[in-house]
């Protein structure tokens, strides 16, 4: 009996002891791993033998980032210490956790070579060191990690060649070496990774290599990302073997040659296909992912048997097709137009011919088509108008002919239409259903007839270019009701009176070439000018106000008239204008409107309108910014939106004092900042400013943006960072203005206004062109451009030999030369600041990285800027009143 009892008791004690041992040793191992790690944020504070539940056997399973097996004896199986600001040494002691299979140290600041010791962790199948500061080459000994299934070393500073020995990692399913400094040739041995699902070698600019035939052996590969590296040569025919591929990105390399029919027909599972921005040539084979002939077949679906239907279904997943900026020619693959899931078709800047089939109506998800600058022919099909998801269609610079179908703009989300420079004829159809149309360009066709008055009902229409056609009749009076930022009707055969409010708001060149047009300010006055003019005056005071608001034209007359009628019409005016002040301003809206004229207009003002500097009766100065009121918000909603902006409190952000608005315009009142803008400074040919002041501007702007992005609730995006929106006070402290105006004017109007504001386009991140969602990274890019301006002393957009050069491209080009980095620094700054400037240059280059995810956050930017510093001393100490801060 006793014996019978003892045995189980003994066993259970032994088991318990064993568990405790295992427990304590795993806890000790974790603590020993922690001991070599620096953890400034105390993210691992729960990792402590003194933790409250330390008596419980597997208490460490509760420690931050630790996961254990589900059953006793709870072994540590995974460590996820991602994004904890950890640094120090990654110690091999972690390999004593014999069941550890997953180790994620991504998004930290480990600054060391690849920790080869971890190859002792025999049970490890996932190692993720992405986004750290890992440096040095991939050593031959990488072969030691032969059990790994997932290896992510992306977004580090790993350099040198990829060694042949990496071939030993034959179980790899995921290999991500993207976004590093790898160089040389990619070894063919990567083709031996037959289990590979995900291969990413993108953004390794020095990886100058052909794409080896053996890549075609990766039959399980689902994602192949080689974009933005230095791949050259052809796309191998062996790619036909990539049967599982769903995402292929070869964009922005140096690839040449054509794409074979077999490859195109074999990639049946593609979701996204991007070979844009290479030097690919020849025809693009029809039948992408087997879509060939789908057009005709699908018309006879009843005749098909199951197997055929299935083979068509195989290609039903393609969503994005991007082959723009190459040199493809021949007929565009027509099957593509009717794929059921296709969303994006981009083929601009090639030499494609062919037409868009009417069956495009079957592409019911289609959102975006850009095929500008090709040789497309035929008519614009009716079918296009049946696609209700289409929001952008641009097909300028082609050979489309015939009439524009009446349903062309029936998509309720359509917002950008460009058919300029084609051979379209007939009348402009009544476009009534696309209530969100913001931009319509039909320039340089052979359109005839009158401009449809119904265009004036599209309330957010902002850009209208009808120039160089054969249009006749008048400019509709109703256009006065639109908030047009651009109306170009030059070189038609229009006649009659130009609506009064349009003359005052338009450059004359947008009306020229229409000898029949008349009106005040034009070379031909209207015959019936006198009576009609009087009528205009008397009936609508609003017009006068609008023209004042537009700030151009016959201002004196209008203003004088205003004063004259002030007393009699007082009630009506206060009905038109509504003002809200967030600070006590002793001023009426009438005072404000009266104060705004050519003399007080400061600077040219961007697409978002002008800025006026007004002196209040108190002697105080204020800056007033005019925005077009698109009528997106009710008065109440407008107030709450602007209030959100006005409640920001930061030394680097210009205060909003209030606003006033009518149905046409919104005037935002900002505090006045006396020093002008950084843009004004850079524009001066004698621009000189010592580095300490430039640094002060940079860090102030960065802090302002970080505040908007992270500290202020709700988080705001600036969305229009550029040097002309950075005001400077007398001590060169920067103040950001014009922030978050999307909230005021509405998203659709904001986007297209930005898109078409050419002057600032080099501040816009490349993804602005296709991404519909605004991000912090876009602000970071624009900040990077400003930082480049500060470092180089050059304006973001430069005219060189009549060709305009984007500063980002200019700097990148120069830097590729020997000593290039030194050559881009502003020579007007003494070399004693060189080190700091090089530091800032590096940050600017990271901010302007084409890949959004590679850009640092504003918080990181501040940290890095401070690290490089400005010779460690505060700029104000260097500057005494007797010194001229503009000198170097």
Ligand X SMILES: *[C@@H]1O[C@H](CO)[C@@H](O)[C@H](O)[C@H]1NC(C)=O
Where on the chain is the footprint of ligand X (CB under 6 A)? 40-41, 53, 56, 58-59, 61-62, 82-85, 104, 106-107, 128, 130, 150, 152, 167, 174, 176, 189, 192, 230, 232, 254, 305, 307-308, 349, 351, 373, 425, 446, 448, 470, 859
Apex CA 854: angle with CA 849 and CA 857, to 5°?
A: 100
Q: From CA 416, how far away is CA 421, in angstroms rounded?
A: 16
Residue among 56, 63, 59, 97 at smallest CA distance from 81: 63
Q: Closer to ligand X by CB, 430 or 711: give it.
A: 711
Minimum CB separation from ligand X for residue 491, in Å? 10
Minimum CB separation from ligand X for residue 548, in Å? 38
Q: Closer to ligand X by CB, 104 or 665: give it.
A: 104
Q: Closer to ligand X by CB, 368 or 692: give it.
A: 368
Report residue 844: phi and psi, to 5°.
Answer: -60, -35
Q: Closer to ligand X by CB, 353 or 365: give it.
A: 353
Q: From CA 677, how far away is CA 737, in angstroms rounded?
A: 10
Q: From CA 872, how far away is CA 692, in angstroms rounded?
A: 10
Q: Closer to ligand X by CB, 192 or 849: give it.
A: 192
Minimum CB separation from ligand X for residue 476, in Å? 21
Residue among 509, 596, 498, 588 at smallest CA distance from 547: 596
Strands (E), 71-170: 76-80, 87-88, 102-104, 126-128, 135-137, 150-152, 157-160
Q: Closer to ligand X by CB, 176 or 295: give it.
A: 176
Record the tokens describing residue 169, joined without a space: 């990692």
Minimum CB separation from ligand X for residue 402, in Å? 12
Q: What is the SS3 assignment for 585-623?
A: CCCCHHHHHHHCCHHHEEEEEECCEEEEEEECCCCCEEE
Q: From CA 497, how far away is CA 529, in angstroms rounded?
A: 9
Task: Name the residue whose CB lies closest to ligand X.
Answer: 167
Q: Closer to ligand X by CB, 293 or 412: give it.
A: 293
Q: Closer to ligand X by CB, 580 or 805: give it.
A: 805
Minimum CB separation from ligand X for residue 165, in Å? 8
Q: From CA 468, how far away is CA 446, in angstroms rounded?
A: 8
289 close to 267: Cβ distance less than 8 angstroms: yes
Q: Closer to ligand X by CB, 545 or 768: give it.
A: 768
782 close to 762: Cβ distance less than 8 angstroms: no
In the block, which residue shows the tokens 């007393």? 567
Q: From CA 363, how far away is CA 384, in angstroms rounded?
A: 9
Q: Closer to ligand X by CB, 351 or 433: give it.
A: 351
Q: Closer to ligand X by CB, 146 or 470: give it.
A: 470
Q: Closer to ligand X by CB, 368 or 833: give it.
A: 368
Report residue 30: phi and psi, to 5°.
Answer: -60, -45
Minimum CB separation from ligand X for residue 131, in Å? 7
Q: From CA 321, how far away is CA 850, in angstroms rounded?
A: 20
Q: Closer to ligand X by CB, 161 or 569: give it.
A: 161
Q: Please state the separation of Cα 266 from the chain's center in Å.
A: 33
C-alpha distances (whole Å) from 208 to each of 138, 181, 298 are 17, 11, 44
Minimum CB separation from ligand X for residue 836, in Å? 20
Minimum CB separation from ligand X for residue 18, in Å? 17
527 close to 493: Cβ distance less than 8 angstroms: no
Minimum CB separation from ligand X for residue 324, in Å? 10
CB count, 10 Å around CB of 51? 16
Minimum CB separation from ligand X for residue 253, in Å? 8
Minimum CB separation from ligand X for residue 46, in Å? 10
- Under DSSP, is residue 349 helix (H, G, I), strand (E, B) or coil? coil
Minimum CB separation from ligand X for residue 516, in Å? 12
CB count, 10 Å around CB of 548? 23
HSE (CB half, 13 Å, CA atoms) of 192?
A: 12
Minimum CB separation from ligand X for residue 808, in Å? 15
Q: Please state the separation of Cα 487 from the chain's center in Å.
A: 27
């Amino acid at each position: 009996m006793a014996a019978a009892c003892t045995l189980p008791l003994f066993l259970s004690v032994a088991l318990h002891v064993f568990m405790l041992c295992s427990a304590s040793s795993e806890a000790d191992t974790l603590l020993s791993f922690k001991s070599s790690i620096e953890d400034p944020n105390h993210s691992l504070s729960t990792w402590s033998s003194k933790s409250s539940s330390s008596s419980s056997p597997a208490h460490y399973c509760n420690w931050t980032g630790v996961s254990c097996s589900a059953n006793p004896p709870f072994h540590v199986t995974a460590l996820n210490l991602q994004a904890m600001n950890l640094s120090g040494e990654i110690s091999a002691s972690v390999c004593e956790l014999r069941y550890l299979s997953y180790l994620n140290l991504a998004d930290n600041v480990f600054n060391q070579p690849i920790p080869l010791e971890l190859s002792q962790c025999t049970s490890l199948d996932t190692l993720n060191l992405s986004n750290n500061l890992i440096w040095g080459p991939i050593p031959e000994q990488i072969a030691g990690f032969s059990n790994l299934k997932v290896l992510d070393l992306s977004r580090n500073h790993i350099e040198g060649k990829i060694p042949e020995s990496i071939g030993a990692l034959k179980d790899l399913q995921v290999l991500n070496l993207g976004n590093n400094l790898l160089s040389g040739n990619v070894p063919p041995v990567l083709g031996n990774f037959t289990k590979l699902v995900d291969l990413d070698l993108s953004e390794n600019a020095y990886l100058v290599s052909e794409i080896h035939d053996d890549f075609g052996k990766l039959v399980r590969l689902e994602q192949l990302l080689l974009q933005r590296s230095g791949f050259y040569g052809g796309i191998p025919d062996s790619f036909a073997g990539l049967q599982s591929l769903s995402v292929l990105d070869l964009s922005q390399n140096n690839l040449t040659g054509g794409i074979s029919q077999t490859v195109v027909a074999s990639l049946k599972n593609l979701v996204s296909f991007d070979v844009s921005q290479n030097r690919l040539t020849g025809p693009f084979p029809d039948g992408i992912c087997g879509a060939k002939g789908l057009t005709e077949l699908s018309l006879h679906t009843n005749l098909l048997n199951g197997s055929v239907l299935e083979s068509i279904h195989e290609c039903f997943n393609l969503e994005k097709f991007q082959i723009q900026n190459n040199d493809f020619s021949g007929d565009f693959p027509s099957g593509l137009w009717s794929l059921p899931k296709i969303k994006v078709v981009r083929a601009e800047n090639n030499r494609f011919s062919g037409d868009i089939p009417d069956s495009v109506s079957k592409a019911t998800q289609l959102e975006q088509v850009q095929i500008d600058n090709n040789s497309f022919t035929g008519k614009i099909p009716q079918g296009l108008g049946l696609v209700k998801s289409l929001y952008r269609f641009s097909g300028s610079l082609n050979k489309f002919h015939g009439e524009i179908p009446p349903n062309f703009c029936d998509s309720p989300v359509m917002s950008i239409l460009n058919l300029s420079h084609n051979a379209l004829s007939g009348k402009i159809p009544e476009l009534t259903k696309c209530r969100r149309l913001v931009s319509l360009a039909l320039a340089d066709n052979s359109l005839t007839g009158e401009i449809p008055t119904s265009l004036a009902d599209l309330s957010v229409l902002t850009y209208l270019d009808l120039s160089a056609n054969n249009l006749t009749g008048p400019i509709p009076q109703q256009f006065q009701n639109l908030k047009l930022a651009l109306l170009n009707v030059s070189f038609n055969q229009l006649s009659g009176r130009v609506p009064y409010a349009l003359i005052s708001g338009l450059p004359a060149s947008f009306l020229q070439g229409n000898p029949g047009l008349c009106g005040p300010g034009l070379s031909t006055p209207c015959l019936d000018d006198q009576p009609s003019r009087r009528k205009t005056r008397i009936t609508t005071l609003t017009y006068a106000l609008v023209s004042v608001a537009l700030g151009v034209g016959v201002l004196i007359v209008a203003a004088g008239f205003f004063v004259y009628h002030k007393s009699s019409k007082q009630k009506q005016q206060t009905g038109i204008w509504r003002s809200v002040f967030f600070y006590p301003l002793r001023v009426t809206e009438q005072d404000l409107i009266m104060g705004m004229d050519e003399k007080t207009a400061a600077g040219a003002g961007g697409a978002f309108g002008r800025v006026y500097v007004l002196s209040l009766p108190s002697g105080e100065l204020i800056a007033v910014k005019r925005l077009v009121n698109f009528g997106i918000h009710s008065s109440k909603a407008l107030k709450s939106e602007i209030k959100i902006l006005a409640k920001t409190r930061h030394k680097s952000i210009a205060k909003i004092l209030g606003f006033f608005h009518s149905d046409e315009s919104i005037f935002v009142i900002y505090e006045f900042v006396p020093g002008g803008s950084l843009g004004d400074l850079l524009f001066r040919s004698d621009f000189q400013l010592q580095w300490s002041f430039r640094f002060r501007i940079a860090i102030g702007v960065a802090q302002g943006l970080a505040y908007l992005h992270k500290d202020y609730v709700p988080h705001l995006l600036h969305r229009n960072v550029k040097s002309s929106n950075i005001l400077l006070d007398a001590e060169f402290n920067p103040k950001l203005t014009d922030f978050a105006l999307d909230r005021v004017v509405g998203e659709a109007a904001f986007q297209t206004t930005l898109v078409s504001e050419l002057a600032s386009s080099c501040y816009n991140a490349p993804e602005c062109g296709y991404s519909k969602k605004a991000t912090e990274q876009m602000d970071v890019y624009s900040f990077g451009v400003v930082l480049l301006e500060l470092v180089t002393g050059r304006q973001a957009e430069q005219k060189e030999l009549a060709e305009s050069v984007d500063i980002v491209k200019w700097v990148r080009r120069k830097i590729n030369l020997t000593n290039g980095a030194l050559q881009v620094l502003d020579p007007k700054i003494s070399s004693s600041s060189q080190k700091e400037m090089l530091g800032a240059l590096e940050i600017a280059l990271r901010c302007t990285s084409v890949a959004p995810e590679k850009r640092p956050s504003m918080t990181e930017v501040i940290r890095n800027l401070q690290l490089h510093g400005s010779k460690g001393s505060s700029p104000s100490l260097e500057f005494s009143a007797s010194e001229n801060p503009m000198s170097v």
